[in-house]
Amino acid sequence: MKTECVKRAFKYRFYPTEEQAAELSRTFGCVRKVYNMALDARSRAWTVEHRRISYVETSSMLTEWKKSEDLAFLGEVSSVPLQQALRHLQSAFTGFFAKRSAYPRFKSRKKSRASAEYTRSAFRFRGGRLTLAKMSEPLDIVWSRPLPRNAEPTSVTASRDSAGRWFVSILVDDPSVKPLASTRGHVGIDAGLTSLVTLSTGEKISNPKFGKQDRARLARAQRDLARKERGSKNQEKARQRVARIHARITDRRRDFLHKLTTRLVRENQAVVIEDLTVRNLLGNRMLARAIADASWTELRTMLEYKCVWYGRELIVVDRFFPSSRTCSTCGLIRGRLPLHVREWMCKGCGTRHDRDVNAAKNILAAGLAVSACGAGVRPQRSTSGRAFGNEAGKLRKSTA
């Protein structure tokens, strides 16, 4: 039986000519315009007529918009990215009605990502040279890594970030992504700030704190930006300097997280993490900057799709499970454990615990219990506080 290949996006930087940059900039603007007009039409139809508009209806609207004198410029760019913008809006509404996401928002010229998606009919890929619709020359792409052999792109997304860098993301079927050989390894992960993650094996992986490393440089660039006259060319240059620093921080952080998550997925058959509500944690003004720099959400996202790719199991433990306060040896649940207490001694068995290592061990035990029998991970109320810990301890010893 033939297995279906995983669709994977390969992102590369490219350097457009002046004509290509102008064409792409026009396309980005038209994509944003069409998306916003379609969103406005759908919102008005629901508010006034209590009627939902489908993708097919917005596609018909796009045809009429192109015929009007005021919007004739929409016909000067490739029609495929405009149709894809309508499809993206349809996906956004589908997610909203399924209660997976918030109501779609209008795209901003200054804040929204500038991008355009081209499907197979709107680009040509031959001999490693990519040419987009409405362009006579191929893009000057820096092939930082090879595409899979005999790859046939199904879609291409061109984009420009706030730092002025141009990127192209090529979506292909990647046969190299397949389940890895089974392993006996299991790991529990406790996310933190001093140590980005602490593993149930006792290993602590320090937090690089890329944002903190460039904080002084970023502050100088932001002060310089604040002194520039609004709307001037110098202000735009200063803004791009700030954006380049942010891009450097983001790129370094993402590279580190990719290497870390790939290692964890390759070495372990099951990965257990805690279900953290990062949005709520960012409400802590004392820790918000450090939490944002740690990027726990991106860490979890990478673990999720890589576990799917490589045939591993990702188990998420309930956020209310007292992993730090539960003794991983005897199961006694301690009453209160302030954040500054990094080590504590169990009054039941006398074991001295490192707070983070103990939490990672409990997270692993809880996750394996869920995987084995589908039980809940929140401990049952008991007078001794040992109910969950004893079972978790037995399971941990049996899997050691």
- Cβ atoms of 78 and 135 within 8 Å: the answer is no
Rg (CA), the chain: 26
Residue 190 one-letter amino acid: D
CB atoms within 10 A of CB 386: 18
Residue 173 falls in the annotated catalytic set: no
User: 23, 293, 356, 391: which one is catalytic?
Assistant: 356
Residue 190 falls in the annotated catalytic set: yes
Residue 274 falls in the annotated catalytic set: yes
Beta strand 195-199 with 204-206: parallel, antiparallel or unpaired? antiparallel
CB atoms within 10 A of CB 219: 11
Strand-pair partners of 343: 354
Strand-pair partners of 131: 124
Nearest to 333 by CA among 373, 276, 390, 277: 390
Q: How far apart are CA 271 and CA 187, in angstroms?
A: 5
User: 23, 117, 190, 293: which one is catalytic?
Assistant: 190
User: 23, 274, 293, 391: which one is catalytic?
Assistant: 274
Q: Kindly state the helix (H) or strand (E) to which residue 158 belongs, with its residue range.
A: strand 155-160
At which residue do the structure tokens 């390894």 appear? Answer: 185
Beta strand 123-126 with 352-354: parallel, antiparallel or unpaired? unpaired
Q: Annotated catalytic sites, by residue?
A: 190, 274, 356
